[in-house]
């Protein structure tokens, strides 16, 4: 009788362990199965006067000051009725650890990966794991040479990196961006980079408990969700976040309490 109880207990323990082991893969499969169809991704087409360089260049001083969101130059105030219900940009994707090597460098490389995804979109290029890793390491090396190390980057510091290393002349800093404002930039072929409190995003693919600070790219939208390229996971391509979730999690790095960080976003303009 005792032996029978032991056998039953072992069977139950094995069943429970198997259930826990397969729980996460099953959840991932179910989420992918139920992801809605996305709008066709639009390839970037440079407007007259736009130019993009094939390779990142090093520019020691920014040639143009960063433009705040309320700048008189090219304000984005689209009429909501003029925006399509859904829109999507063909932004190439790379995780911040392109070859799944999550060492300290790549754990902190979401800013570099986000900037590179927008850069490659404007340049009409695609990533391989090797090229993505090499590009990230070049950006990290530049920071060590010029800033004395590789650290979490605030929105303004990320904008400096994009201007000085990648050579873009105009970075717009959006203060408390609205859903309509973000959509307007997307519709005008400008992806939006978002700094965020990573653990507020609720991304099931993050290694628990998730990053304290994170950065990602909004590349499109549906009627209720933003379409993102989230470099924090290999499954981050076209990852969907509810509008409210992403706006609530939007916080800039302040070096202390991420939840008190300002609600900012970055827009890179394609001109060089």
Kindly state the average pLDDT of the residues 90-114: 98
Kindly state the average pLDDT of the residues 22-51: 64
CATH topology of domain 67-268: Cathepsin B; Chain A (3.90.70)
The residue ranges of every structural domain in the chain are 67-268
- Rounded-to-integer distance, Cα 191 and Cα 106, Å: 22
Quick one: tokens of 105? 């460098």
Please provide residue 110's backbone torsions phi and psi, each rounded to the nearest 5 degrees.
-65, -35
Q: Which residue is listed with tokens 């199965």?
A: 33
Give me the pLDDT at residue 71, please: 45
Q: For a pLDDT cut of 70, what percent of the chain falls above it?
A: 74
DSSP class of 193? E
Kindly state the average pLDDT of the residues 9-13: 59
CA atoms within 13 A on the CB side of 69: 19
Q: CA geometry: angle at 223 spanning 218 and 227, to 5°?
A: 20
Kindly state the average pLDDT of the residues 172-186: 98
The answer to whether 121 touches 44, Cβ cutoff 8 Å, is yes
pTM over 0.75: yes
Helix (H, G, I), strand (E, B) or coil at 1: coil
**pLDDT of 222 over the 80 cut:** yes
What does the chain come to in residues? 272
Give me the pLDDT at residue 6, please: 63
């Amino acid at each position: 009788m005792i032996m029978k109880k032991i056998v039953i207990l072992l069977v139950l323990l094995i069943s429970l362990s198997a259930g826990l082991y397969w729980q996460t893969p099953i959840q991932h499969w179910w989420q992918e199965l139920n992801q809605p169809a996305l709008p066709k991704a639009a390839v970037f087409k440079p407007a007259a006067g736009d130019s993009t360089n094939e390779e990142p260049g090093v520019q020691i001083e920014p040639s143009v000051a960063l433009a705040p969101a309320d700048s008189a130059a090219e304000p984005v105030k689209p009429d909501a009725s003029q925006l399509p219900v859904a829109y999507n940009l063909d932004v190439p994707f790379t995780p911040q650890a392109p070859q799944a090597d999550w060492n300290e460098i790549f754990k902190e490389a979401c800013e570099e990966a986000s900037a590179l995804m927008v850069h490659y979109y404007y340049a009409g290029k695609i990533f391989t794991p090797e090229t993505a890793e090499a590009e990230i390491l070049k950006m990290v090396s530049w920071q060590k040479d010029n800033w004395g190390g590789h650290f979490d980057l605030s929105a303004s510091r990320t904008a400096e990196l994009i201007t000085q290393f990648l050579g873009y002349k105009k970075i717009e800093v959006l203060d408390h961006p609205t859903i309509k404002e973000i959509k307007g930039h997307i519709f005008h072929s400008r992806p939006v980079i978002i700094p965020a409190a990573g653990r507020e995003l609720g991304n099931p693919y993050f290694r628990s408990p998730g990053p304290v600070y994170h950065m990602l790219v909004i590349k499109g939208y549906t009627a209720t969700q933003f379409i993102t390229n989230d470099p924090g996971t290999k499954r981050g391509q076209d990852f969907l976040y509810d509008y409210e979730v992403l706006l609530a999690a939007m916080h800039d790095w302040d070096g202390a309490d991420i939840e008190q960080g300002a609600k900012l976003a970055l827009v890179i303009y394609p001109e060089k």
